[in-house]
Amino acid sequence: MARTRFIGDPGLTARMTTVMFLLGGLFVVLIVSLMAVGGRGLAPIIGIVGIGIAVYQWWRSDTVAMKAMRAREVTPEQAPELHAMVDRLCVLADMPKPRVGVADTAMPNAFATGRSPDRAVVVVTTGILKTLTAEELEGVLAHELAHVAHRDVLVMTVASSAGIVAGMVTQGAQYGAMFGGNRRDGNSALPVWLMMLLVSIVVYAVSFVLLKLLSRYRELSADRAGAYLTMKPQALASALQKISGEMNAIPDRDLRASQPMNAFFIAPAVKGVSMRTLTSTHPSLEQRLEQLARIQAELGRPTG
């Protein structure tokens, strides 16, 4: 992770390294398996496409995320209080100041993205600005800046490439199997497409689970780092409770539209769903509040 005043997290570093290594291995397995089952002409194309997707995600992650949320970058003149808060936290954390953005949506949320601390952007929604107090918003921003300092946003973005490529191969194999099955003399091609389908499904499933496990841990890590930086864990706990409560008032249509960004939000765009599942992007609210309460007790401050 970058050298800042955020507390270090060897567990997060180890998990990010392991996930990247395993996903890289899965990508190699996918390519080798394609070659082994007869897709020698297709394997190099998949390899090039996979590398291209990873590079594109690395290079354009901030732009893609902001477009997905229809967010706009704001200047200190346009959002003086928000910029002042980010300025204070960056000085406190001894880290470069990221760009600041605002997404015009009633859903209370925030996220950070970017390929490096120098190219990062922290985005908040108009909904969260209306929902939280200044102290609570500071806790949320500290959480997002911790993601930037930990560089886990970059790892999550690039690591998702393996799942994207596997998904592409899965779809291609399904179409290939259908096409081969409809040809009179194409029966011999069916096992090749079937093997491609099975391998790509396995790669996709494993990458999906690995990313969800990493996503949940990195949220707990950012909660810890942000709470220790501001020394106000109860403010972040209060913010998480408000955000989760307000999510129930957001129309289902708006929540569905935002769900592709769930892994990057401070709280998932869902209502009334338990986060204690293998496929969830975030730890449960109860788990996060328990951790923040322990930090509050450790700092010797009463919980509100």
Q: How far apart are the C-alpha atoms of 224 and 187, rounded to whole Å?
A: 57
Q: What is the pLDDT of residue 290?
A: 97
Per-residue pLDDT 10s for the chain (304 aa) are 556 789 989 999 999 999 989 888 888 877 787 777 665 666 677 778 778 887 887 788 888 889 989 999 999 999 999 999 999 999 999 999 999 999 999 999 999 998 888 889 999 999 999 999 999 999 999 999 999 999 998 888 877 777 777 777 776 666 655 545 444 444 444 456 677 777 778 888 888 888 888 999 999 999 999 999 999 999 999 999 999 999 888 888 888 888 888 888 999 888 765 444 556 889 999 999 999 999 999 998 665 5
Q: What is the pLDDT of residue 6?
A: 93
Buried b (16+ CB within 10 A) or exposed e, 201-229: ebbbebbbebbbebbbbbbbbbbbbbbbb
Both tokens of residue 3? 């050298």
Q: What is the pLDDT of residue 275?
A: 46
Q: What is the pLDDT of residue 43?
A: 67
CB neighbour list of residue 80: distance below 8 Å, 6 or more residues apart = none
Q: Identify any residues that bridge with 101 across adjacent strands, giving them in sequence order.
A: 73, 123
Q: What is the pLDDT of residue 99?
A: 96
Please report which residue ranges of the chain form alpha helices under DSSP H: 10-36, 42-68, 80-93, 126-131, 134-150, 152-181, 190-230, 233-247, 252-258, 285-298
Is the CB of residue 112 less than 8 Å from the CB of residue 165? no
Q: What is the pLDDT of residue 37?
A: 64
The single-letter code of the amino acid at 129 is L
Q: What is the pLDDT of residue 304?
A: 53
**pTM, to two decimals:** 0.85
Q: What is the pLDDT of residue 71?
A: 94
Is the CB of residue 46 less than 8 Å from the CB of residue 104? no
Q: What is the pLDDT of residue 55?
A: 83
C-beta atoms surrounding 182 within 10 Å: 8
SS3 87: helix
Q: What is the pLDDT of residue 185?
A: 44
Catalytic residues: 144
Q: What is the pLDDT of residue 196?
A: 72
